[in-house]
Structure 1
Amino acid sequence: MNETAASDQVRQFTVSVEDDGIRLDRWFKRHLPDASFNIVSRWSRTGQLRLDGKRAAPGDRIEAGQVIRVPPAEAPAAPKPRVERPRLSEDEIAYVNEMVIHRDPAAIVVNKPPGLATQGGTKTSTHLDGLLDGLANERGERPKLVHRLDKDTSGVLLLARTPRAAAFFSKSFSGRTARKVYWALVVGVPEVKDGFIDLPLGKQPGTGGEKMHVDESDAGLPSRTRYRVIERAGNRAAWVELQPHTGRTHQLRVHMAAVGHPIVGDGKYGGQDSFLTGSISRKLHLHARRLRIDHPDGGRVDVTAELPAHLAESMASLGFDLELGDLPLDDVKYSETPEGKRKAASAVAKAKRKERKGERRGRGRG
């Protein structure tokens, strides 16, 4: 390769015998590796790349003795300034460490309080991800989030302390080998005490992706939830265990509302029907109680999280006995008996009829 111009001007190179017959983009890889394929393609589109005076394309074959005309070298893009996270206060460090309920060389498990977002977003400046510097190791390496909880959902949240652990745990969640158990208070009492909800979910149009709904079209994603009724407060409310077998956004909330038993305090999906009268808090009554997941170093992480104050108070007010909780984790993925399917379908149909009836009342008032 013979260069016949300075690098800050239009440059010309003569193709050597060693490069005879190769593609032009291959020539750039050999001799001008700083010129990426995207840059070479742009030079070609704008007519700045020439071969013996004629416009050239990256895929053109070149011959010994031809002259390649190349624009001036481009200055490398300035590196993006590193965004420094604000230093945490002593109170913030203490706050995030108080959440820790398990710690080992590969994992940290926290009991996330309700009202704290997992990650930042629009109008969300305070979140768990922003507090993770307070859980950094002695080398200053912060743990990594490997799954999420809704802002208003409390409970078990797993953090990985190393890249290897993050990859291992992420695979466990995506492969559905992790077992997650939630406790919830729901309005009314499900007819089927040990049931399975299999309703596809999708983003509700017109909500900007902020709300999900049951979507039985081809666009709906398969979504499966097992539930078990632990105890009931008459016909007013029930304490249920929920086990998601898929991980869709707001899955538990949408599924329970769809079968006519919204989670207490979930105005987003249950409307006014989700709020109980009396001393019951209007906060969301959904708690990630337990997580069981294989550990990258062998064995398992199996952790439970204590209830937040508002949920514990509601349970006591309704007379529930906490000793009845923490049912054994069996290997049954869900109840799929014909009777179970029939009752689940009946509950869905009943909920839809109730929804249509409400819509008719609304039109009548208008």
Structure 2
Amino acid sequence: MIGDKMHKIVKVDDNQIRLDRWLKENIKNTSYTNIQKIIRTGQVRVGGRRKKPDYRVLTGDIIRIPPDQIDTEALLKQNSNYQTRSIRDMQIYEDKHVLIINKPYGLATQGGTSINIHVDGMLQDINTEADEKYRLVHRLDKHTTGVLMIAKRREVAQFYTSAFKNQIIKKQYIALVNGKPVNRNGQIDIEISDTYQKKSDFVDYDRKQSVVTKYKLIDSHEGAISLLQIHPLTGRKHQIRKHLTLIGHPIIGDMKYGNIKINEGLEKKLYLHAQKLVFPGFKSEEKIEVIAEMPIYFYEAIKRLKLNSDE
């Protein structure tokens, strides 16, 4: 039965991608190893026939997914109208190519262990048009708020992923940090590791790739807490959080990378907000700037500390 949960039809936007990649994008919370296994053992069928992992799927292909690979718990929890409305409520910019949201605190960008509600999952309920498939272009940590870009088609996602990688897209964050930097303007150029056990593990002395974060001091509260404007030039995992900890100014509320104590009676949350994104129009000369308002708890903290938030 084509309309059931065991069968999916390949959309125009997925034409000619590998079968194993298509499965990875369409089966939640599974590993690449498992994908290879279910293909190899014939549990996946395309048009009723077995295929190899490198088979290029075609628009209209009917693909059978093994029933034990379907996330029934998530399906039961999802309410399509609610999820779609939630994404739209977060929307702060949209054109023919991208949708941009102001991601709230505590909402994960993608799924994982014990994460049932996330942006990527919400997008599945918007993907109703045959020629469009909304997909994430980049990520924000679960407890980081702010600007998050979503592409409406694969070619758009590829265009902006490349733009991020080549530093064509400019990102601006704000953060509350412990202490006060000596210099009003600074640049952190320290290679960081993806592994983490203790602070000394942050630095990767063997890595050749440059990892750079620029910052500007906006204001400070008695030298104890400072408001920084931050511009990451590269996009490594937890780059801003690790870099600021390495220079002795961890972000307020960062329980993982060094600032366990919440100061001055502030709400117990991470004070890092993706404030602005400046990017080119899709295959055009237009420059687009999108600004996300800071969450209420962040605004209240700035007000409580009597900080000047003007640039």
TM class by shorter-chain length? 0.7 to 0.9
Q: Distance in 2 between matches of 1:250 and 1:169?
A: 20
TM-score by length of structure 2 reads: 0.72
Max radius of gyration: which structure? Answer: 1
| 2:229 equivalent among 226, 241, 244 | 241
> Which moved further from structure 2: 215-224 or 96-105?
215-224
Q: Offset of 1:293 from its aligned partner?
A: 1.1
CA distance in 1, matches of 2:279, 2:83: 28
Which amino acid in 1 is paired with 2:295? P
Between the aligned residues of both structures, percent identity stands at 33
Contact in 1 for aligned 2:211/2:234 (Cα 8 Å): yes
Per-residue deviation, residues 228-259 of structure 1 (Å, max 9, x unmatched) = 01111121211101111111110100111111
Q: After alignment, is 162-171 or 98-107 more displaced?
A: 162-171
Match of 2:102 in 1: 111
Distance 1:162 1:203 in 2: 30
Letter in 1 for 2:255: G
Gaps of 5+ in 2: 1-39, 46-63
Q: Provide the C-alpha distance between the structure 2 equivalents of 1:302 and 1:224, rounded to a whole number of angstroms.
A: 22
Structure 2 counterpart of 1:178, one-letter code: I
- Quote the residue 1:77 is aligned against: 42
Give unpaired runs (5+ residues) of structure 1: 1-74, 326-366
The aligned counterpart of 2:165 is: 174
Q: Provide the residue aligned with 2:262 in structure 1.
A: 275
Do 1:201 and 1:223's aligned partners in 2 also have CA atoms closer than 8 Å? yes
Q: Deviations over 1:287-319 (max 9, x none)?
A: 000001111141123100011121111111111
CA 78–137 in structure 1, closer or farther in 2 if over 3 Å, else same: closer
In structure 2, do the counterparts of structure 1 residues 212 and 133 end up closer, same or farther at CA, with 3 Å as the change threshold?
farther
Which of 216, 222, 225 is matched with 2:213 structurally?
225
Matched-pair contact (CA < 8 Å) for 1:253–1:263 = yes
- Partner-residue secondary structure (3-state), 2:279: strand
Contact kept in structure 2, 1:201 and 1:220, CA below 8 Å: no
Q: Give the conservation status (yes or no) of the 8 Å contact 2:109–2:120.
A: yes
- Aligned counterpart in structure 1 of residue 277 of structure 2, from 291, 313, 318: 291
Alignment partner, residue 178 of structure 2: 187
Which secondary structure state, in structure 2, belongs to the residue aligned with residue 270 of structure 1?
coil
SS at match of 1:201: coil
Query: Larger relative contact order (C-alpha < 8 A, sep ≥ 6)?
Result: 2
Partner of 1:99: 90
Q: Could you tell me which of 110, 115, 123 is aligned with 2:114?
A: 123
* 8 Å Cα contact 2:91/2:99 also seen in 1: yes
Give me the whole-angstrom Cα distance separating, in 1, the residues matched to 2:275 and 2:178.
19
Inter-CA distance 140–233: structure 2 relative to 1 (3 Å threshold): same
User: Residue 203 of structure 1 aligns to a residue in which SS?
Assistant: coil
Q: Does 1:258 align with 2:246?
A: yes
Aligned equivalents of 2:300, 2:243: Cα separation in 1:
25
Deviation at residue 138 of structure 1 after TM alignment: 4.8
User: Partner of 1:65 in structure 2?
Assistant: none
Select the residue among 305, 310, 333 that pairs with 2:292.
305
Q: Give how far 1:270 is off.
A: 1.4
User: What TM-score comes out, normalization by structure 1 length?
Assistant: 0.62
- Structure 1 distance, partners of 2:201, 2:271, is 20
**Conserved? CA contact 2:80–2:125, under 8 Å:** no
SS at match of 1:108: strand
Say how many residue pairs are matched.
245
Q: Which amino acid aligns with 1:246?
A: T
